[in-house]
Chains A and B, each alone.
Chain A
């Protein structure tokens, strides 16, 4: 029963009106709430709270965009979301955000268009016309067009995290933009015996693909290949890049010297042991038998130039670095494969400022101080826990038992030098010539019909034949690399039995090759075989021309090229060229008169050799070339900083800093460096104990070897075998125990951090809470 409303009482009406007003107010505020959020959802504006400003367009991009004065169209072609894999769908929004930022910076010239590419639609036809291709039926590419030029990003998700460490879309877009808007590419001179451009065989014969570094450089520069025998570097070359210049002639070094003195910029990646070169003598898939090219020497150097600049590159030693050893498993790390920590990277230069992940594979180091007039800047260096070791360690496969043994031996015998070594550095200033006596004489020509072994090996001097087999590891084993690398294959059938596993220490080289393991030696070059090397494959021309003088028993594992001074073979040291040195006195009859400078060739029109830099030169030197080989690191290489570093060097030398600043943002990972130190400390504690165990085993071996007669040796072998077995079991158990203890120590330290985080603060808060409550209780009970 409802109570009748008294006449004149307006309360219900007011209440109703109040409710209406309230509801309207709530609806209005809700509307404002939705409108504000809808408005902001349209904007890509954001605040970038990262030190490296990884979410903001970099200064490099701004600089590139500033130069844009013609219409540029960026077309995004993407399949409908339903057709894309779920993990690629969020990338659409991200890439649209980036494109929006480009447009906002240069709205008059940079136009952005998005095309949703349905199957069998006009858009699909158009996408195909630009050169884009679907990946597994999905379209997700970008075409950047300016006038007649178009550059493509074929698969956008490849530039986004989590597919890569950090988003690289900005670099992709900016380099594309730079490419289409630049009038002319700079020229990069490339000197290398390695087949960077690939060597695909005709008729689907296989071969090697193009290196990723080559592709990257090619997109920015016009690459001009220069032979390692050249006598002149074209001055139109903006930057000269030497990648593993193995077998470079003195004349070519002279040409580099003159190019540098003329103000050129040089980048050299040297290598004491180049893995790619070590496999270069292997028959390749798809190649007819007998057509396999010769091997490239595994070691490269620029000795003459480096000496003049005040440096030495130890071409027969590789660096083992416990501080930056690459983890190969839970209890295993390889000190010959370096993963550089932040302390090893110079942060004061744009080249390396924001790069973090550097991998070095069997790297060499530089020693010395800059010659007068030059300034050194170290870019990358080892830790203090390093030691230079023989290159014979490089050929071991850590996966094989002997490889593991060898690596364990290296780990145990490791004695850190206590000083950092240079892995990569920059030299600038006024260079002086490395050839004060002028242009060196050319090497004598090869006798006809010989020296064709390297035929087809781009960049190698004619007449140089290094035999079909370079460095080889154990037959049938793989070479050492952070990821699997195909090793030199086992010797072909019919070849001599493979040599036993590498000896504990590098064995001396045989003075003369045994007839069973002939090496191809073609005058005028001799080969110094590597100690403890695998047998070379039999060759067609087993001429025993190795000069004993060059094949010393010295442990020099790198197959150094040593011209044999044997006039009978026609390879005597060349006579000095006719007056190559301007330092020689002027010819008779010219006394008193100042003769015009004459080129060594005698041609008065030829340019006079330079003795000193005409303007400041720039040289970058790096102690490893394998770091750039994508076949070694496969897909992983795209995720470390090696390639960005190399291209940054080229950009720096070419004066193109815009892209460098963007590329340097590549990897912004911040690993736990201290955890690695904790692990290293624990391992170093047990190293001495492991070493003494190893010595015990070696003692038993030595006992067996010391027996004079075969019979005694056999008896010793039998009893030694038993002893060895027992010892091995005992040692394995002790090693397991020691490693377990080391792991326990590491774990306990990490557990400390973990439980301090979980328990410490709650315990403190509980204490404070209890204290407050007790005080309160005391206060109230006192009242």
Chain B
């Protein structure tokens, strides 16, 4: 646990001691608010729930997650510090979890930057607080899932750009799979594929949680997806070390 904490602090410092984290959080904040207010016409909807706000998040995470996670291992590979890190008396798991948690803190900070919209809906109406919590929970889990996917990809390559592109592509597929228009397109020809698309789609799970329905299926999918991606990362790191 102590090792995880050391790695976590080191990674967190690496994020916040250079402009990367700040730039990413600013981009996330501007994008999520801009999409909600300008594209989604939030104030014209006359609905004091944040459902529409949360529905933009999977699209943003499609880029934001990989942007946070791309440096987790690619940077170590490029600098040649992976070997050094793994020769220290810490297990690959501890390094992976420490790094992943640090990236999640950046994600949490980005989500925290959207608090003004919560204040706004409380000023303008009387929203359902629990539903907002559920939306944030879903948003955080989906963001964490995109980081975990990127973490596994970054373990494969030393190029951060390659990692970013591959991760964005995978996340894009996972978001799109359950998008209503895609599901409607698939359903007539392959209904099972449409159902599968829903089950693996980050967008579908987010849409359910944004309306206050946290399915055990969603929790199971997102947590196991994160765990599986972190496991893959450890396999890749071990195999590289071997």
A residues lining the B interface (CB < 8 Å) = 15, 18-19, 22, 25-26, 29-30, 33, 36-37, 39-41, 43, 45-52, 54-55, 81-82, 86-87, 89-90, 93, 342, 668-675, 750, 753-754, 756-758, 760-762, 765-766, 768-769, 772-773, 776
Contact = CB atoms under 8 A, between A and B. Distances in A.
Given A757-B37, A762-B30, A25 B46 contact: no
A19 B240 CA distance: 12
Interface residues of B, number: 69
A262 B220 CA distance: 59
Contacts of A93: 195
Contacts of A761: 29, 33, 113-116
A47 B209 CA distance: 10
B80 interface: no
A88 B130 CA distance: 28
Nearest to B181: A86
A762 B29 CA distance: 6
Interface string B1-38: 00000000000000011110111011001100110111
B216 to A, nearest CB: 5
Interface of B: 16-19, 21-23, 25-26, 29-30, 33-34, 36-38, 42-43, 46-49, 113-117, 120-121, 123-131, 133-134, 137, 180, 183-184, 187-188, 191, 195, 199, 209, 211-217, 220-221, 224-225, 227-228, 231-232, 235, 238-239, 242
A312 to B, nearest CB: 34
B29 A765 contact: yes
B26 A37 contact: no
9 contacts: A26-B231, A46-B215, A47-B134, A47-B214, A47-B215, A50-B212, A51-B129, A86-B187, A756-B116
A82 B191 CA distance: 9
Contact of B215 (A45, A342, A772): A45
B215 A758 contact: no
A509 to B, nearest CB: 43
Contacts of A772: 16-17, 22
B43 A672 contact: yes
B43 to A, nearest CB: 5
A765 B184 contact: no
A81 B16 contact: no
Point out which of B30, B134, B184, B212 has the most chain A C-beta atoms below 10 A from its C-beta.
Answer: B212
Nearest to A33: B228
Nearest to A766: B26
Nearest to A23: B235
Contacts of A30: 228
A758 B217 contact: no
Given A37-B199, A51-B129, A769-B22, 17 more contacts: A18-B242, A26-B231, A37-B217, A47-B215, A50-B131, A54-B212, A55-B213, A87-B184, A670-B128, A672-B46, A756-B120, A757-B36, A760-B116, A761-B113, A765-B29, A769-B23, A776-B17
B48 A672 contact: yes
A48 B120 CA distance: 24
A765 B131 contact: no
A37 B16 CA distance: 36
Nearest to B45: A672
Contacts of A54: 212
Contacts of B129: 51
Nearest to B239: A22
A757 B116 contact: yes
Contacts of A50: 128, 130-131, 134, 211-213
B191 to A, nearest CB: 5
A551 to B, nearest CB: 47
Given A41-B199, A47-B214, A50-B130, A671 B125 contact: yes
Nearest to B121: A672
A142 B187 CA distance: 23
Given A37-B224, A49-B131, A671-B48, A762 B216 contact: no
Contact of A765 (B22, B191, B228): B22
Contact of A48 (B137, B187, B213): B213
Nearest to A668: B128
A766 B22 CA distance: 7
Task: Give the residue among A48, A765, A776 with the most B Cβ atoms within 10 A.
Answer: A765
A25 B239 CA distance: 13
Contacts of A55: 212-213
Nearest to B137: A49
Given A672-B125, A765-B25, A772-B16, A49 B134 contact: yes
B81 to A, nearest CB: 21
A772 B25 CA distance: 15
Give me the 6 closest cross-chain CB pairs, A-B, nearest first: A769-B22, A49-B134, A50-B212, A86-B184, A40-B220, A47-B214
A101 to B, nearest CB: 13
A670 B124 CA distance: 10
- Pick from A750, A756, A758 the residue with the most CB of B within 10 Å: A758
B191 A670 contact: no
Contacts of B124: 672-675, 753
Nearest to B20: A769
A750 B43 contact: yes
A752 to B, nearest CB: 10
Nearest to B112: A761
A670 B48 contact: yes
Contact of B113 (A19, A49, A756, A762): A762
A22 B215 CA distance: 33
A49 B220 contact: no
B213 A46 contact: yes
Contacts of B195: 93
Contact of B19 (A25, A46, A674, A769): A769
Contacts of A671: 46-48, 125
A41 B188 CA distance: 21
Contacts of A754: 37-38, 42-43
B215 A49 contact: no
A765 to B, nearest CB: 5
Contacts of A668: 128
Nearest to A768: B22
A688 to B, nearest CB: 27
A163 to B, nearest CB: 15
A53 to B, nearest CB: 9
B133 A49 contact: yes
A123 to B, nearest CB: 18
Contact of B184 (A43, A89, A757): A89
Contacts of A675: 43, 46, 124
B125 A37 contact: no
A309 B22 CA distance: 68
Nearest to B194: A89
A39 B47 CA distance: 36
Nearest to A750: B43
Contacts of A89: 184, 187
Nearest to A19: B239
B29 A43 contact: no
A670 B212 contact: no
Contacts of B48: 670-672
Contact of B216 (A43, A51, A673): A43
Nearest to A25: B235
Contacts of A342: 126
Contacts of B242: 15, 18
Nearest to A47: B214
Contact of A45 (B130, B180, B216, B235): B216
Residue of A26, A40, A757 contacting most chain B CB atoms (<10 Å): A757
A674 to B, nearest CB: 4
Contacts of B220: 36-37, 39-40
Contacts of A48: 212-214
Contacts of B221: 37, 40
A36 to B, nearest CB: 5
B47 A670 contact: yes
Nearest to B129: A51
Given A671-B125, A761-B29, A40 B216 contact: yes
A722 B84 CA distance: 95
A758 B40 CA distance: 13
